[in-house]
Amino acid sequence: MLQVVLIRPGCTDYDAQQRIQGSLDIPLNEQGASEVAQTAEALRDKGLETVYTPVSQPALQTAEMLAKALGIRHKKIERLQNLNQGLWQGMPVEDVRYKQPKVYRQWQEQPENVCPPDGEMLSEADERVRVALVKLLKRHKEGTIGLVLPEPLLSLARRFIGRAELGDLWKAPFCRGRFEVLAIVPDEVLAAGV
């Protein structure tokens, strides 16, 4: 049995303003640093061995702070960049809802069919997540590992690992839960994901 702890990066100014971050590198703000400290305390008794992270600034900062606080290693997954949301990046979510109501609704209901202007399809990010997770699940068969992932990567990872629904990707970045633990059998996940 392997426990995978899915961890949200700490808050950035874009999160506080409910702006779309996408692949932009925005540092953690004071609230984000405080959230990471609280997350570290909550994870202290979970037996976390290693925390993995993409190289995006908020995720990397979060992983570094967690690793230091918990006395564990953190490892970068170089090729696991977040979804490029093109011209939406930097926009408040409400602006997209107001200016492009049909596309906004379609992103809620069928995000796989939407390509943000000058961005990329969700399937491209989904493929990056799957490739990274397959490698991790082949390497780790038991124990506890952490994954610090920004949205929508976290939702894509949850769907692959936990066979969960994707959910509303507009609301996912602003959820308040800092982490969730999924107990899995890696070989079963790998067999189902093929």
pLDDT digits (tens, 9 = 90+) for 133-160: 999 999 999 999 999 999 999 999 999 9
Compare 138 and 167 and report the one with higher pLDDT. 138
Residues contacting 168, CB < 8 A, separation 6+:
108
Specify the range with the lowest mean pLDDT, choosing from 38-42, 51-55, 124-128, 166-170: 166-170
Do residues 128 and 80 lie in contact, with contact meaning Cβ atoms separated by under 8 Å?
yes
Report which of 16, 12, 8 is spatially closest to residue 39, judged by C-alpha positions: 8
pLDDT of residue 122: 95
**Largest interatomic CA distance in the chain:** 47
pLDDT digits (tens, 9 = 90+) for 81-94: 999 999 999 999 99
| Chain Cα centroid distance, residue 77 | 13
Residue 69 confidence class, pLDDT cut points 50, 70, 90 = very high
Residue 147: domain span: 2-193
Q: Residue 7 gets which letter from DSSP?
A: E
What does pTM read for this prediction? 0.93
Residue 73 is inside which H or E element, if any? strand 73-76
Average pLDDT of the chain?
92
What is the pLDDT, as a whole number, of residue 129?
A: 95
Number of domains into which the chain is organized: 1
Q: What pLDDT sits at residue 112?
A: 92
Q: What is the CATH number of the domain that holds 11?
A: 3.40.50.1240
Average pLDDT score over residue span 29-33:
95
Q: Averaged over 92-102, what is the pLDDT? A: 94
Looking at residue 176, its pLDDT comes to: 56
